[in-house]
Each structure stands twice: as C-alpha cells, then as structure tokens.
Amino acid sequence: MSTHTVTIAIPFAALLVAGACGSAPEAPPESAESSAAAEAQTQRFDIRAEVVGVAPERREVVLDHEEIVGYMAAMAMPFTVEDQSLLEDIELGDRVTAVLAVTDGEAVVVQLDKVEQVERPEPVPAQPEGTAPPDPPSA
C-alpha cells in the first residue's frame, strides 16, 4: 500500500466514525419505555361497593360491589390495594367508592373513599359446642 493511500484512508475512517457517533438517535432507557407502555394499557374503572372484609396485612379489601361497567358483573370479591394506607379508616359495612386500575389483567385499587358507615347490629355470639340454642319466646 502506498503512502498516499494510507494518508487518504485515515482521515476518511475518522470521518465515518465521527459521523456514526453523532447521527444515531439515542434510544430511551428501557424502563421509561416499559413505563410508558404500561401507562398506555392501564384502564381505570369506578366502583361503588360495601366493605365486607379488610386485611391490611395483605393489602386487601373485600368489596361487595355493584356492576363495574365495562369490566365486571356485580359480586363480592377481594381486591389488592395499591397502598396499605388506603385501608386506614375503612371498616366492615362502610359504603365506599373506589378507582380500580387494570393493567395486563392485574387489577389494583388505587383510590378508596368512605361514603358512609352502615350501621350494623351487634353480632350474636356463637353457641358453645354441645349446647342447644335457647328456646324462642312464646307468643
């Protein structure tokens, strides 16, 4: 190879490397892309329900809910809550409204608001085993 060829090849190679470094668009980090895709696929549904169970240690509330329009028929079932603090003032019998976020089939309650406390009668204590229930009052 002649000296003239080497002199031309080196600057040409440098131009190719410099051009390649500046012209390629930088891809966003994968986590940002994944987050944006998840946001685009998340659906939100409004819920009206009565609380029939609360398990803060599992971040779970059992709701006897009305139809969730566009998502589910009325029924009683457990829901995971996004944050345990959503359950702080929630008690059995409360009427609540909630927002359910559904992403890729996973449903999570992201908002839970007490509408009213439903008054419940005191529970009747269970009869000890082996004893008969009291006779009903005579008429």
Q: pLDDT tens digit string along 25-71?
A: 455 555 556 555 555 589 999 999 999 999 999 999 999 999 999 99
- The SS3 assignment for 84 reads helix
* Amino acid at residue number 81: V
90 part of a folded domain: yes
Q: Which helix (H) or strand (E) holds 6?
A: helix 3-23
First and final C-alpha spacing in the chain? 121
In terms of pTM, does the model score above 0.95? no
17 part of a folded domain: no
123 part of a folded domain: no
CA–CA distances in Å: residue 120 to residues 93, 94, 115, 123: 7, 10, 16, 8
110 part of a folded domain: yes
26 part of a folded domain: no
Report CA 82 to chain centroid distance, whole Å. 5
- The SS3 assignment for 76 reads strand
Q: pLDDT tens digit string along 94-132?
A: 999 999 999 998 999 999 999 987 666 565 565 566 666
Q: The CATH number of the domain where 55 resides is what? A: 2.40.50.320
59 part of a folded domain: yes
The rounded distance, in Å, linking the Cα atoms of 5 and 11 is: 11
The total number of structural domains in the chain stands at: 1
Report CA 48 to chain centroid distance, whole Å. 17
Q: For residue 130, what pLDDT is reported?
A: 67
63 part of a folded domain: yes
Range of the domain at 58: 43-117
29 part of a folded domain: no
